[in-house]
Structure 1
Amino acid sequence: MKLQFKHQPFQAEAAAAVCDVFRGQSLCAQAHRQGLGAAADRPLSLAGTGTGLCNQPLAPELTDARILKNLHAVQRRVGLPLSKALAGPGINLSVEMETGTGKTYTYVKTIYELNARYGWSRFIIVVPSVAVREGVYRSLQTTQEHFAGEYGRRLRFFIYNSDRLAQVDRFASDSAIQVMIINMQAFNSGRNQRIIDQRPDSFRGRRPIDVIAATRPILIIDEPQSVEGRQTRESLRKFNALFTLRYSATHREAYNMVYRLDALDAYNRHLVKRIAALGVTFTSSPAAGGFVYLEGVDLSRDRAPAARIGFEVKGASGIRTVVKQLRRKADLFAASNGLAEYADRYVVAEIDGRDSSVTFLNGLKLYAGQFSGGEERTALQRRVQIRETIRTHLRRERELYSRGVKVLSLFFIDEVSKYRLYDGDSGSGRSGEYAKMFEEEYVAVAEAFRREIDDPAYRAYLDGIDARETHQGYFSVDRRKGRQARFVEGKIDRKSRTSFDADAYDLIMRDKERLLSLDEPVRFLFSHSALREGWDNPNVFQICMLKPQTESEIRSRQEIGRGLRLCVNQEGERMDESVLGGAVQELNKLTLITDMEFGRFAEALQQGLAASLAGRPRMVEPGLFAGRLLTGTTGARVRVTRELADEICAALRKQGYVKDRVLTGSFFADRDRGAVRLGGSLQDLSAAVAQVLSGVYTPRAIPAENAHGGNVTARADPEKLQTEAFRSLWARVGPKSFYTVSFDTRELIGNVIQALDAHLQVTPVSVRTVYGEQATQLQSREQLLQGRAFRRRESRVQAAGPPAPGGVRYDLVGRLVEETGLTRTTAAAILQGIAPETFAMFRLNPEDFLLQASRLINREKAAAVVRHITYHRLDASYDAALFTNAVRRGRLGCTAVPAAHSISDYVICDTDRERAFAEALEASEAVRLYVRLPKSFFIPTPVGRYTPDWAIALRDRAGDPVYFVAETSGRAPQPQGVEAAKLQCARAHFAAVSGGEVMCGAVRDLDELLRIVG
C-alpha cells in the first residue's frame, strides 16, 4: 500500500502564515556563496570552513519594524493576539498544531514554500529525541514523491551523525534544498558535543558547527517545550540561524504565534479521531496480597526525595487503588485507612534517587515500574483489559471491513518479558504472560463473536486469521552474532521515560504501510510504553494500557497521540469528511482501554486537552473580527474594518447569539445545524463569522433551545450570603452539637447476631467496565475542565472468579471495633454467636465481610441507641464559607434548576424527586429562601455522619418565619434502618441547637412539608 496525501487547506494556511511574515524579501534563485563582499560565483574559504553556500540574508528593508508589521497582518488574518514585539532571541515564529493533524507534513510544506518564494535552501530540523528524529525521517521519505510532484524539486535530507561528517560538507555545498535532522543529544551532550565543537582531522581540521553556522540555516524546532532547556538554548545559538520556527501541540513559550490549530479546532473540524474510554476496575477487592506499586521517585534540590507509590485504600464504599507521593517513614497501614494487608511493617525506610528504588521496613525493595503483591488481582485485571480490547476491536472491524479499512489495536506494556520469553542464547522464544492471555481470550471472544456476523465476506476474513498470527511485538532487537535475533529492553531516558533506540522505531515504522493491508494478518500490536512519540499509525482504533498509569501521563497524551490520525482505506486514501461526510467521527473513533476508573481517566484526559486552550479569545467584541479577511458564501472576500466589526457584533446581539459579550446556547444550536444567520447585508458572511466564533473560549454558554450550553456550575453568591433571610436561617441551622447515649449491651448482642445470620451477604470479587465517548463537538476549554466532554454510554459488572488464597492475617475483632465503635468484648461476643455458615463468608471476601457486617451492626446499634440519645449545643457553628467552597456542576433540564430563591443561580439535584422539589420551592410564595446543604455540613450520630438535603426558610399564613430541614432523597416514603436512625438523631440535634425553632423530617414533596408546618 502507498499512502496518499491530500492538500489540506489548514496545512497550506499554516505554511502561508510563516512565509507572509517575510513579505518583501526578494527571491534568490540560488543559494549565496559563503563570504562577505565576495562575488557570488567565486568559491571562498572562510576561517577554515571550506567552500560552501548559504541562505540569502534578510533584505535590508526587512527591518524588525517591517517584520512586526507583517506578523500583525498574519495574526489578524488568522485571529491570534497581536505580538507587542518580536519576542525571543533573534526572529522566532511559533505554530501550534494538535497531535495527529500533520505537523511534520506542514513544516515540510513550509520548507518548500520558503524555497519557492525566497530561494532559501538550508534547513535544520531539531528534535527532542530519537523517537521524533526517526519519525521525521520516515515522514520525509513517504512525502518525497508527493511534494516533488507539487513543487518539481526534491529535498536532500539526512540525520546528523558525527561519524559521517561528509554529509555536513554536502549540506554546505550542494545546491539542492538541504535538510539536516538532528536530535538535541547530538550537539548537547557527551562525545558528540566534543566533535561538533572541535576540529577533528577527519574533517580537515574544521569545526563542524562552523561549517553549519556559515550556511545561515533556518531552524525548525519540533516540540520546543521538550528541547529548549537552558543549556540547549545556548547550544542552538551556535547554529547562527537566519530565523527559527517552532512547531508543537503544547508550547511552553509561544514566541510570535502565526498559526494555531489546537485540540478544540481539531475535534470540531473533524481532523482527528474522536476519543472514547473504557475503564476496567474492581468493584471490590480481596485485599489479600499487599499490593504496592512504585511509579517513580521525585528529586528536588531543597527537600528529601519522595516516592510515587500505588497502594489500596479502604473507603466507605469499598477498596480502591490510589497513587500518592510519600516520603520516608510513611506507613501504608495508616495511609490505607487500616487495611490489614499493610500491617506487616509497610513503612518506607529508604528512598534512593540513584536507582529509583524504595525499601520498606519489612525488607521489600521495589524499583520504578515494579509492583509487589496483588499479582492475582492484577493479572485478572489485565486479562479483562485484553478481552475488552478484542471485543471493541471486532465490533469496530465489522463496521469498517466493507469500507476497506484495516483495524489495528495497540497494547502498551512496560516489560518485553511480558510478551516474549527466551531460554538461552539459541532459544527461539516463547509467549510471555500477555501473549498467552491474548491468544486465549482471542479464541474465546472471536468464537462468540462469529455467531453475530451476518456478512459472509467479513466472516471469511475473520475465519482466515489464526490467533497466533494476528499479534506481533515491536521492541528493540538484539542481533548479536551467535544468537538468534530477539526482543530486548531498550535504553530508556530517565527523565522523559522515552526510548533512545532507533531500532524499535524503525521496525514499527517500516511496517506501517504493510500493517494497513487487509492481506496482512497482524492486527494487534504490542509495544513498549516508552515508544510514546515520534511514530503513529492512522488505523490504530484501540489503545490498551497494560501498565499502571498516572494522571499526569494521561494529560500528556503521548500514548494517545499514536492513534489520533484519521484512518485510511486499502488505497491509502484518508477517510475524512470529504469521503465519509457527517459519519467521519463516528467511524474514526479511538477507544482507550485502561485500568483507571472511567471518571478519573476522562477528567485527567480532558484537563490535558484543556491545558492547550488557555490562550483563546474569551469575549465576543469588535477586536475579534477587525482586520480579518472573511470569505462569503458567494466567494467574495471582505477585509473587516472596525466599522464592519461593530456591525457584526450588533447583528450577533440582535440574533441572540451573544449576550454580555458571551456566546449563548442559541449560537451553538444554530451552528450545529448549519443555520447561523446574521441577516441583512451581513447574511453572506454568516458562515465565516460562525467559524470565527467557534474559536472563542466560553466559560459558560447557556442554551436557549437545546442542551449544548446546558452545562452549568452552581456557586454561592457572596452577596446573597449576607442577606437577612440567609443569616436568620443559618443562625438556627448552623450551630454544632455533641451527643451522649446509653443502651443495653446484652440486648444489642442478641439483635446483632440475629440480623447477621438472617441478612449478611458478601459479594465475591468482580470487575466493572465503564465505556464513554467524547462529545462530537467541543465548545470550550471550560467544557473540558468541567468534565463535560465525555459521556458514559455503557457499564457492566462481571464476576472475577474464585479468590486466590492470601497470606494476610486479620485482627477481625479489632477491625469490627474500628468500624462500629463497640468494645472488643462486645465485638468478640457477636462473632462467637453467629452461625458457622455466616462466619464462613469471611473467606469469600474478607474486606466485604467486614464492610457488610459493620453496616448491619451499626443498623442494629442505631435502633438501640436513638431512643436514649441526647444532644447538647456547642459554642461553635459551621461557617457560611462552606457554601462558597462547594462547587457543583449539572445540566439544565436534567440535574440543574435555575434558582431565584436560593443562594446561587442554580441548584444541582441528584434525583428527579429532588429536582421536582427544587422547582416547587422556586414556585411557592411561602418560601423565603432555601439552600442545598453541602456534604461538608453534617450532624454527628452514633451510626455515622448525616447530611440532610435542604434547609428552608418559609412564611406561615401570618407572615412569621418558619424553619425546616428536609430530607427528600430516600426511595421509600419514609427512611428505614440506619437512615431512619440518622433522621431521628437530626431531629434531636436541631431541637437542641435552635431551641425548638427548626423542624426536621423526611418529605416526598413540598405539599407534604407545608402540611407538616401547618
Structure 2
Amino acid sequence: MQLKLESLEYQEQAIQSVVKVFEGNTRNTFDNATSEGIRSNFSDISSQELQQNIKSVADENGILPENIHLNDEAELSIEMETGTGKTLVYIKTIYELFKHYNFTKFIILVPSVAIREGVRASFQNFGTQLENIYGLKPNVFEYDSKRLSKVSNFIEDQHPQVMIMTLASFNSEDKILNQAQREDLFNNIPFIEAIGRTRPIIIMDEPQEGMDTENSVKQISKLNPLCKIRYSATHKLVKNLIYRLTPYDSYKNGLVKKIEVLTVTEKNDEASLKIELSDIQNKSIPQVKLKAWVQNNSTGKIEFKVSPWLKEGDNLGAKTNNPSYNNYKIDRIFKSLKTGKWSVVFSNGAEIFEKQIAGNLENIWALQLEWLIHRHFQKSQKLKVKGIKCLSLIFIDKVANYMGDDPKIKNLFAEKYKQVYPDYHNGENPAEEQIRNIQGYYFAQKSSGEFADNEGGVKQQKQIYDAILRDKEDILQFGDKVANKIEFIFSHSALGVGWDNPNVFNIATLNTTYSETKKRQEIGRGLRICVNDKGERNYDESTVEDPERINQLTVIPNETYETFVTQYQEEIKSIYGDANAGAGMTHNHKGKDEDKVLFKKNPSDDVQKAFKKFWKAMAKKTDYSIAFDEDQLIVNAVERINKITIPDYVIEASSHFVKEFTEGGREDDFAGSETVKQKAVFTPLDLVEEISENTGLSYTTLFEIIKKIDNHQEWVKNPPRFIHEVSGIIKDVELNEMLRKIEYNVNGDEFPFNFKDFEKNIDAKQYVDTPRKGVFDKMLIDSDVERRFSENADGDSEVVCFIKLPNWYKIKTPIGDYEPDFGLVMKRKELKTGAENEFYFVIETKGTNDINDKKALTESEVYKIKCALKHFASIGVEVQYKAPVKEYTYFKTEVEKTVSV
C-alpha cells in the first residue's frame, strides 16, 4: 500500500508563498554557487527586496500587517493546522525551490525522534510520485555522526541534498560536528563550518519545541542559513508570517476531520474532582484554602496545589490563573448546623465540603475506555465496507499504569473490551490472544530495560516502534492475513507531537493531572482525513449529516466539556486574538446528544412559495469556456513592460580614516565615496526560459513579446528584478484576459430543491434566529458580517424571504468552486399602478464593499466574484448578483440603483 499524493489548493498556496519570497533571485549555477569545492545556495536579492516580497506575499494571503511580525531577518513563518499536511508542504517546497532557483542545500531540523521518523517516512512514501512530477530524486538522509561521508557529500555535491537533523546532534560544543581537532575534518575545518559555507535553507519543524532557546539560536546560527522557514500549528515565536491556515479555516473547508467531544464526567464533577477544601480559617471573616489546578505564570504548567487564603467574592479563575474556573466565584463559606461540616458554595451552584477528596479516577478511566471501545466498534463496522481501518489512540498518565507490576489501565482495557465486544459481534467473546494483538504501545525505554515517562531511548522496543512509527501504512491494512493487527495504540508524551495517523478516529486522554498537553496537540493526532486500504483519501460530501459522516474524530477527555473547550479556546485566542478561530466541536455527554440545534422551515406559505420560485430561477447550472486572444495579450503585456524602470544596480566604495578608538567608540575622517554602475551578462534565451517557467506562456509567444520591447536598457541593469516584474505583469494580463474572454452557458442541469428540517451540533455563536423572513427559523453564519446581514434582512419589511445558501450550491470557476453566501427575495410596489413585483438577489458578504480593496479581499476572491457576475448574467435577468457587501444599508443602496418601480 502507498499513500496517494494529492494536489490540494491550500497546500499549493503555502508552497508558492515561499517560492514568491525569493522572486528576483538569480538562478543558481555551477559558476555562481560553487567555491573551493563547496556547492552552496547563492542569493543576490537585497534585504529590502526580501522584505518587500514578504509583505507582498503576506498581503496576498490576507494576513494583516500587525500579524506578520515583520523583521529584517531571513526567516519565514508558515502556520498550518495540525493534520493538514504540513510535512508534505515543506517537502514539496524543497522541490519547488530547486525548480525555480536551483537551490540545492536543505536541512530539515526536527526536535524529536518521532518527528524525524515522520519526515523520513513521508519522503519514502511520496518519493516516487514526486520524482514522476519533478523528474528529480534528491539525496535525503538522516545525519549520523558515524557516517560523516554523507555530510561530505552534502557539502560538495551539486545534486539537491536534504539532511534531516535533530537539535541534539549539534547543540553543544563537544558534538562531532563542532569538533576542530579530528583526523577526518573537511578540508581542515570543522564540519559545522563547512556546512555553514553551503548556506543551507533550514526547515524548522515545530520550532517551539526547543529551537528558540538562547543556546539553540546560537548553535543554529553556526549553520549560517540562507533562510530559516518555520512550520508549525502552534508557533510561540512568529517572524515574517507569510501564510496561515487556521483551525477554523481547516474545519470549515473540510480539510480535517470534524470533532466530537464525548465527556464521561457527571455534572458538577469539576467541583468534586478538581477542587478540594484544604483549610478553613474562621475569624471575623471566614476564609478557605482550596486545592485546585493552578497555572504557573512563567512556565505555563498547571499543577494541583493549595491556593492562598480566599474569601467570599473571590474568583477562583483569577486566583489560580486558570480560565476553567472563571465561573467559580465564591458565593458563600459556611458551617452547617446539621452536619457540623464546612462547605464552599460557588456562583455556578457547585458545592464542595470539608474533608472531601478528589474522586477515584480509575472509575473515570473505566468509563472513558468503555465509551472509546463503543465508538471504535461503531465506526469500525461502518468504515470496513469502505476499506477503511479504524484506529484508536489512548494517552495515559504514566507508563507504569500500562507496563508496571500493577498495570491498571491495561487491565481495565481488557475488562471493558470483553464487556463491550459481544454487543457488536453476535454475542461472541474475544480470545485472549486477540486482545493482546490489537494493542500497540509506544513508550520510551531506558537501557536498563525500565520504561520511562519521557521519550529517551527507542531501540529496546523496536518491534512496536517500527509498527507504529515506521510502518505507518501497514497499520492501515486489515484482515485475517495481515500481520499488523494493532487497533488500539497506548502512548505517553512521546506521541504528543510529531506523530499522527489518518485513520485515528478516537482519542481518549487518561490523565491523573490536568492536561499540560496543548488541546490542539491532543486533537491533532487524529485530524487527518482518513485513507482506505488503497492509500486513497476519503472525503465527505459537504452536505453529509453527522450520523453518516466518515471523517469524525471522537475525543474522550476526563474533564467536562466546558473545561476542555475553554482551554482550547484560550489557546486559540492567545494565538489568533479570537477564540472563534478554532474548530467547532460537537458535545456528547456519556454518549447522549444534548446540544443539537433544530432548524425548522418557516411555516409561512408566502415565504415557501416565494422561495420555490426564487430557487427555480437560480438553480440553473452552467459550464464555462475560455478563449485567449493571444494578439491582445501580447499588445497589453508589451505596453506595460515598456513602462518598467529598474533602478541602477550599483556598488559603493567609501573610505574612512580611523584616527583613534575611544571609550565612546571611534573617531574617523571620511575620505569620500564613489558608486559604480554594474551591468549584467545574460542571454535572451535565459530570459525567455525564466519567464516561461513563471507564467506558463510558450516560448513562441514570449519571443513575440520580447521582439516588441524597446526598453532594453532596463534589462541589463538587474535581470532577475526585470524578470520578476515582467512575470508579474504577464500573469496579471493573463488573468484579465481570461476574465474578459470567459463565457458561461446554461448546461441544462439544475441544483435540486432539497430543503427540509435539519439538526446541527453547533453553539449559539454559529447561528442567528430568523423567525420572520428566514426560509428556516435559524440561519447558519460564519462571521459577524453575516450575523448583522441576517438580522437586518429578517427585520426588513420589503424582504419576502432569505436564506444562507447551502454549501452544495457551487459555481464553477477556473480556480475552483465558488459558494455565494445569501439568496434573498424582495417585494416592491409600483407607485403608479400599485402592482407588486418580486426581485431576486444573490449576495456575497465580505469585510468590505469595494471589490478593489486588496486588504480585505484576496486575488482569488476577487476573481471568483467576477466569474460569478458572468455566471448569473448567463442564467437570465431574474437573479441579480451583489458583491462584495459589508453592510446591509449598502446592499439596499445598490438595490435602489438597479431596481426601478
Give yes or no for contact 1:678–1:686 (8 Å, CA) kept in 2. Answer: no
Q: Quick one: which of 761, 776, 787 aligns to 1:664?
A: 787
DSSP 3-state at the match of 2:434: coil
Distance 2:135 2:69 in 1: 34
TM-score by length of 2: 0.55
Which residue number in structure 1 is paired with residue 245 of structure 2? 261
Residues 1:169 and 2:152 aligned together: yes
Residue 567 of structure 1: aligned partner: 530
| Partner residue in 1 for 2:4 | 4
Change (3 A) 1:198 1:573: same
1:201 to 183, 186, 208: 183
- In the alignment, the residues of structure 2 paired with residue 198 and residue 478 of structure 1 have an alpha-carbon distance, to the nearest angstrom, of 32
In structure 2, how many angstroms separate the alpha carbons of the residues matched to 1:688 and 1:87?
26
- Corresponding residue to 1:125 among 91, 103, 108: 108
Counterpart of 2:477?
517
1:50-85 CA distance string (max 9 Å, x none): x32111x223xx333333333343233322235899
Q: 2:454, 2:493 within 8 Å by CA — same for their partners in 1?
A: no
Deviation at 1:272, TM superposition (A): 0.8
Return the alpha-carbon distance in structure 1 between the equivalents of residues 542 and 331 of structure 2: 54
Aligned partners of 2:332, 2:423: CA distance in 1, in Å?
41
Distance 1:516 1:614 in 2: 38
Matched to 1:522, the amino acid is: I
Counting only pairs closer than 5 Å after superposition, residues 814-825 of structure 1 correspond to structure 2 as: none
Q: Offset of 1:417 from its aligned partner?
A: 2.6
Alignment equivalent of 2:120, drawn from 132, 137, 152: 137
What CA deviation, in whole Å up to 9, does each residue of 1:370-427 have, x standing for no partner? Answer: xx997982222111111111111112222222111111111111322322346xxxxx
Distance of 1:599 and 1:85 partners within structure 2: 32
1:38-61: CA deviation from partner (whole Å, max 9, x where unpaired): xxxxxx2xxxxxx32111x223xx
Provide Cα deviations, 1:709-757, integer angstroms capped at 9, x if missing partner: xxxxxxxxxxxxxxxxxxxxxxxxxxxxxxxxxxxxxxxxxxxxxxxxx
Superposed CA deviations along residues 794-845 of structure 1, whole A, max 9, x for unmatched, are: xxxxxxxxxxxxxxxxxxxxxxxxxxxxxxxxxxxxxxxxxxxxxxxxxxxx
Report the CA distance shift for 1:86/1:501 in structure 2 as closer, same or farther (over 3 A). farther
Residue 446 (str. 1) matches residue 421 (str. 2): yes
TM-aligned CA distance change 1:684 to 1:499, over 3 Å: farther
- Residue identity opposite 1:68 in structure 2: Q
Matched residues, percent identical? Answer: 28
Amino acid at match of 2:27: L
* 1:467 aligned residue (435, 442, 445): 435
Residue 396 of structure 2: which of 413, 425, 439 is its match?
Answer: 413
Which digits, 9 at most, give the CA deviation of each residue in 1:18-51, with x for residues without a partner?
111222223335585543xxxxxxxx2xxxxxx3
Q: 1:13 to 1:432 in 2, by over 3 A?
A: same
Gaps of 5+ in 1: 36-43, 45-50, 327-333, 345-371, 423-430, 453-458, 481-485, 619-626, 640-654, 698-1014
C-alpha deviation, 1:111, in angstroms: 0.4
Deviation at 1:631, TM superposition (A): 12
| Match in the other structure for 1:252 | 236
Secondary structure in 2 matching 1:80: coil
Where does residue 822 of structure 1 map in the other structure?
A: none
Aligned-pair distance for 1:207? 0.8
User: Does residue 309 of structure 1 match 2:305?
Assistant: yes
Shift of 1:212: 0.4
Q: 1:63 aligns with which of 46, 53, 61?
A: 46
2:410 aligned partner, one-letter code: A
- Are 2:118 and 1:15 equivalent residues in the alignment? no
Q: After superposition, what is the alpha-carbon deviation per residue over 1:333-385, rounded to whole angstroms, capped at 9, x for unaligned?
A: x9997999xx99xxxxxxxxxxxxxxxxxxxxxxxxxxx99798222211111
- Partners of 1:158 and 1:553 in 2: how far apart? 31
Go from structure 1 to structure 2 and tell me whether the alpha carbon gap of 1:113 and 1:585 turns closer, same or farther (over 3 Å shift). farther
Aligned 1:482-493 pairs, distance under 5 A: 488-489=451-452, 491-492=454-455
Please give the residue correspondences for 1:20-99 in structure 2 after superposition, counting only pairs within 5 Å. Answer: 20-28=20-28, 30=30, 34-35=34-35, 44=36, 51-55=37-41, 57-59=42-44, 62-82=45-65, 87-88=70-71, 90-99=73-82
For residues 395 and 242 of structure 2, the distance between their equivalents in structure 1, rounded to whole angstroms, comes to 36
Matched positions, count: 585
Measured after TM superposition, the shift of residue 559 of structure 1 is 2.3
Closer, same or farther: CA 94–297 of 1 in aligned 2, 3 Å: closer
Deviation at 1:231, TM superposition (A): 2.6
- TM-score w.r.t. the length of structure 1 is 0.50
Contact 1:406–1:517 (8 Å) recurs in 2: yes
The answer as to whether partners of 1:471 and 1:523 remain within 8 angstroms in 2 is yes
The equivalences for 1:618-767 within 5 A come to 636=739, 662-664=785-787, 666=789, 670=804, 672-673=806-807, 674-676=819-821
Of the three residues 538, 552, 558, the one matched with 1:589 is 552
Please tell me whether the aligned partners of residues 122 and 215 of structure 1 are also in contact (alpha carbons under 8 angstroms): yes
Letter in 2 for 1:225: Q
1:232 Cα deviation from its structure 2 partner:
2.1
2:507 corresponds in structure 1 to: 543
Structure 2 residue 297 is matched with structure 1 residue 152: no
Aligned partners of 2:294 and 2:320 also within 8 Å: no
Q: For the residues of structure 2 that align with 1:468 and 1:661, how far apart are their CA atoms? A: 52
Distance verdict in 2 for CA 1:97–1:322, change over 3 Å: same
Counterparts in 2 of 1:391 and 1:531: CA distance versus 1, 3 Å? same
Q: Does the Cα contact within 8 Å between 1:408 and 1:539 map onto a contact in 2?
A: yes
Deviation at residue 309 of structure 1 after TM alignment: 3.0
CA separation in 1, counterparts of 2:782 and 2:553? 36
How far apart, CA to CA, are the structure 2 residues paired with 1:4 and 1:518?
A: 18
The alpha carbon displacement at 1:517 in A equals 1.0
- Are the equivalent residues in 1 in contact too, given 2:264–2:557 (CA < 8 A)? yes
CA contact (8 A) 2:68 2:239 kept: no
Q: Which residue of 2 aligns with 1:728?
A: none
Structure 2 gaps, min length 5: 279-290, 323-329, 342-354, 582-728, 743-773, 792-802, 808-818, 825-840, 858-901
CA distance 1:220–1:89, shift in 2 (3 Å): farther
Pair 1:420–1:225, CA change in 2 (3 A): closer
Deviates further, 434-443 or 200-209: 200-209
**Conserved 8 A contact 1:631-1:685:** no
2:521 is matched with: 558
Q: CA, structure 1 residues 9+448, in 2 after alignment: closer, same or farther (shift >3 Å)?
A: same
User: 1:228 corresponds to which residue?
Assistant: 212
Equivalence for 1:944 = none
| TM-aligned CA deviation for residue 149 of structure 1 | 1.5
Q: Which has the larger radius of gyration?
A: 1
Partner SS state of residue 89, structure 2: helix
- Cα distance in 1 between the residues matched to 2:564 and 2:576: 19
Residues 334-353 of structure 1: pairs in structure 2 closer than 5 A: none
1:135 alignment partner AA: G
Closer, same or farther in 2 for the Cα pair 1:403/1:689, shift >3 Å? farther
Contact 1:54 1:215 in 2 (8 A): yes
User: Is residue 197 of structure 2 the alignment partner of residue 214 of structure 1?
Assistant: yes
CA distance in 2, matches of 1:601, 1:657: 24
1:306–1:689 distance in 2 versus 1, CA, 3 Å: closer
Q: 2 CA distance for matches of 1:659 and 1:5?
A: 31
Shift in Å, 1:667: 6.8
